[in-house]
Chain A
Amino acid sequence: MEKPSPMLEFQGPADRTRRWTGLAQGLPNLKQEEWKYVPIDALLAHVYPQSDSLLPLNQRPRPENLPQGIRYLSVSEALAEKIPGILKALNHLQVAHFDGMATLFLPAINSEATVLWIPASDVPHPDIALLPSIKQPNQTADALLVLVQAGAHINLILPKEAQSSGFSFIYVGLEDSANVSLHRDLSGSDAAFVMSHLEVLLANAAQFKLAQYLQGGSAQRHAVQAHLCGPQSVASMASLQFAKPGDQLHSWVNMVHQSPHAESHQNIRQLALNSGMSSFTGKIHVALDAQKTQAYQHSAAMVLEEGGRTYHRPVLEIYADDVKCTHGATTGSLDEQALFYLQARGIPKPAAKRLLIDAFIEDCLQAFHPDLQAALRSEIAKSLQ
């Protein structure tokens, strides 16, 4: 039998074939996206063929021009300096329940992650764009712990170039009234499996906003888990998923309401072209004493070509009795009558389609950082030509 190639060579169009082999071995697919039922060993053996045990994490390179006061260090340095928030982060990672691959990397994350420390400040910090991680041949994943002090306010941007192939883990810990927006372009390269886990911990009145764009590559799977641990904390996510022919995009979200009076929002838009698939699993978990929770989930999908597939799976686990939780999902195709109406006013069919698609995703696009928004608009326009 042919010897599997190492991670770094695991790229390029040939990966598509490899992916299908992987699916045959029990990797997540549409019917069993629930990651916890997937034999992870099979996945690991496939994605990291030479690893008997876990390999070292990568260190993310330091962003350029780090603003005043923001620090970039290793976990051991953070521990030695008793950086506020580091123990809380490591402790959370010990006790939190993860689904999927995050579990496997936990020991390594504890010792080898990169720490980005954001101090309190009266005015918002300048935006930070994170850099791509450079993987060494035998590295399997990278991890970043973002520790945000009380009252700090910052935008973090992960451009397309900053995505890693393989697995990446991001933890964001927000102290009281901290305010973080994370904007990420998860456009896949030709790398086969792109997976990530984002773990968020919110203290009192903290606000976390996520805007993510999934597209391309071949198989992508991104998990987000936010713990609303303080009253008046708010977590919101916008996920825009554009499955092109042959793509498989999965996003998985869990909003965990542990404290009363917290709020969460999930706003998802999925587009699928011929033979593209996109799925969304969105959970809302409301603990017994998380009264007065407000949780909202809306997922809308548009199948643009025959053979495209989209899935929504809302999961509500509500143990408190005085809560407001709403969820809704819609799937449709382009409205033929609307198309004709636009055409009858002089707008050619392709432009008319664009107008309808733009209208469909606009609400979700608005959640993105202006720079990223502009890039996404032109990227989507190009893909729809």
Chain B
Amino acid sequence: MLEIKNLHASIDGKPILKGVNLRINAGEVHAIMGPNGSGKSTLASIIAGNEAYEITQGDILFEGNSLFDLQPHQRAAAGVFLAFQYPVEIPGVSMMNFMKTAINEIRAQNGLQPMEAAAFLKLVREKQALVELDAKLANRSVNQGFSGGEKKRNEVFQMAMLNPTLAVLDETDSGLDIDALRIVAQGVNALRNPNNAFLVITHYQRLLDYIVPDVVHVLANGKIIKTGNKDLALELEAKGYDWILETTQA
């Protein structure tokens, strides 16, 4: 489904990704772990189409086609979703208007009619319940006045609304207590099926107790330095990043 080939990227001339290779098949959940500043968010932003980064080498194929031929909104319509590490506050744009516009713009790009108002409201209620998002947040401006945890849950809510083929979750767990973590995981697990895939970026092993990954990668200094199964996450948790940096350099 997703194939990242020798991806190099930089910002303001400073190289950040230095040859990332990654292959995710339908039905899989991959986790990327790594120290702060290793390039995890950069990779996620580039998949979603953030133009702030310069791609100096490599390609990203999504269902066989290069993502670089698509603008961000076209990637969303093709089924790519990014849960932002830092969700953006947008004063004056209501959550409902935002979601309705997003769903209908995606439908339009896929040749579908706008969703009926009743069907939309039903979907909203269903997905709000899934992530236990307070219904009154829907009347607020996007992310405005949301607590840290509410912002993260709101990302998962949006993911559930748009039902993507590939969802990238960028540290959706950070800053969450155990309850919130469980809710977020519940949202993700409810969406898992053989036709979609998840790329879960996390700093801690904790989330992976709830969202069990098929493959775990360690990203350090712009490169994937180790790939393993879920035990790698546990080992990393026990021994720390220094351990892996040392063993791979050796």
Contact = CB atoms under 8 A, between A and B. Distances in A.
Q: Do A and B bind each other?
A: yes
A348 B71 contact: yes
B111 to A, nearest CB: 14
Interface in B149-178: 158, 162
B71 A343 contact: yes
A242 B47 CA distance: 37
A344 B90 contact: no
Given A355-B101, A356-B93, A359-B93, A343 B88 contact: no
Contacts of B141: 359
B49 A351 contact: no
A343 B77 contact: no
Interface stretch (B16-24, B102-110, B202-210, B212-220): B102-110
Interface string B101-142: 111011001000000000000000000000000000000011
A359 B143 CA distance: 14
Given A345-B76, A345-B162, 5 more contacts: A342-B102, A344-B49, A347-B105, A351-B101, A358-B92
A343 B92 contact: no
A86 to B, nearest CB: 45
A347 to B, nearest CB: 5
A355 to B, nearest CB: 5
B87 interface: yes
Given A338-B88, A359-B91, A359-B93, A345 B98 contact: yes
A355 B76 contact: no
A337 to B, nearest CB: 5
A349 B73 contact: yes
B9 interface: no
B76 A359 contact: no
A343 B93 contact: no
B217 to A, nearest CB: 23
Contacts, number: 79
A340 B92 contact: no
Given A348-B71, A349-B73, A342 B50 contact: no
B49 to A, nearest CB: 7
Interface string A317-358: 000000000000000000101101111111111011001101
Contacts of A362: 92
Contact of B101 (A340, A347, A363): A347
Given A346-B105, A349-B71, A341 B88 contact: yes
B90 A341 contact: yes
Interface in B58-95: 71-73, 75-77, 81-82, 84, 87-93
A55 B101 CA distance: 55
27 contacts: A335-B88, A335-B90, A337-B88, A338-B90, A340-B51, A340-B88, A341-B88, A341-B142, A343-B72, A343-B73, A343-B76, A344-B48, A344-B75, A344-B76, A344-B81, A344-B84, A345-B158, A346-B106, A347-B73, A347-B105, A349-B73, A351-B105, A352-B73, A356-B92, A356-B93, A360-B92, A362-B92
Chain B CB count within 10 A is highest, among A337, A343, A358, for A343
A356 B92 CA distance: 8
Contacts of A343: 49, 71-73, 76
B81 to A, nearest CB: 8
Contacts of A356: 90, 92-93
Chain A CB count within 10 A is highest, among B73, B98, B101, B106, for B73
A343 B98 CA distance: 11
A338 B92 CA distance: 12
Contacts of A341: 84, 87-88, 90, 142
Contacts of B102: 342, 345-347
A304 to B, nearest CB: 16
Chain B CB count within 10 A is highest, among A337, A345, A359, for A345
Contact of B109 (A338, A346, A349, A358): A346
Nearest to B78: A346
A131 B26 CA distance: 66
A314 B28 CA distance: 59
Contact of A344 (B82, B93, B142): B82
A312 B97 CA distance: 31
A12 to B, nearest CB: 38
Contacts of B97: 355
Interface in A46-93: none
A294 B80 CA distance: 51
Nearest to B76: A346
Contacts of B89: 338
A358 B82 CA distance: 25
B77 to A, nearest CB: 5
